[in-house]
Amino acid sequence: MSEETDESIKASKEESARVGKIDDPTIAELKEQLENEKNNVKSCEEKLKRSLADFDNLKKRTSIDIETNVNSQVDKLMLKFLTIYDDFIRGKDVLAKQKINVEGLEAIIKNMNALLLEHEVTPIVALGEIFDPTIHEAISVKEDPLLDDGTITNEIRKGYKLSDRILRPSLVEISKKPNTSKEVVDKNG
């Protein structure tokens, strides 16, 4: 039995040697293939990282775009509501001047005020303030020697903020000191 085993081992060695000579890549070729595969893995990892970063940026941009669109739609709706609100206020004032009972309108306006407050819509303080072009829109100028230039003397239309955004600027009249230059024009020449 040992002869058969020896022959089997010998045949196996010969077969291995024959196969090894046919398809046996050298160590250098194997190292080169390994290095190529490592480079491929690095390249794929870098592509994956870039793709993940691009996807993250897309998510952020999409979120910002959605928020901007929602804010724009809310602003449009609130501006329409404020127009109606202004009409109610003017109507109440006219009826009150005519000494007509305005209790019903006052109740409606109270509910409207609650709705505005609930949605973080707040009036912009204007009267007596210094003109700020980011929240006020000047539509007339009034000379007044007692006030600093740019002091708001009259609020024509109330402005509003929605959270931290200007929903509608206040339409105002601002003061200007009279021209006090002592230049006298001689009509005779």
For the stretch 21-53, pLDDT in tens is: 545 668 888 999 999 999 999 999 999 999 999
The pLDDT of residue 182 is above 90: no
151: its two tokens: 């002091």
Q: What is the mean pLDDT of residues 107-136?
A: 95
pLDDT for the residue 156: 94
Number of Cβ within a 10 Å radius of residue 105: 17
Contact between 156 and 173 under an 8 Å Cβ cutoff? The reply is: yes
Query: 0.85 exceeded by the pTM?
Result: no
103-118 vs 27-97: helix axis angle to the nearest 10? 170
Q: How many percent of the chain have pLDDT more than 70?
A: 81
pLDDT digits (tens, 9 = 90+) for 139-148: 999 988 888 8
How many angstroms separate the CA atoms of 19 and 30, rounded?
A: 17
pLDDT at 179: 81
Least confident among 20-29, 87-96, 103-112, 168-177? 20-29
* Residues forming a β-bridge with 138: 172
Q: Half-sphere exposure of residue 49, counting CA atoms within 13 Å on the CB side?
A: 6
CATH superfamily membership of 122-179: Head domain of nucleotide exchange factor GrpE (2.30.22.10)
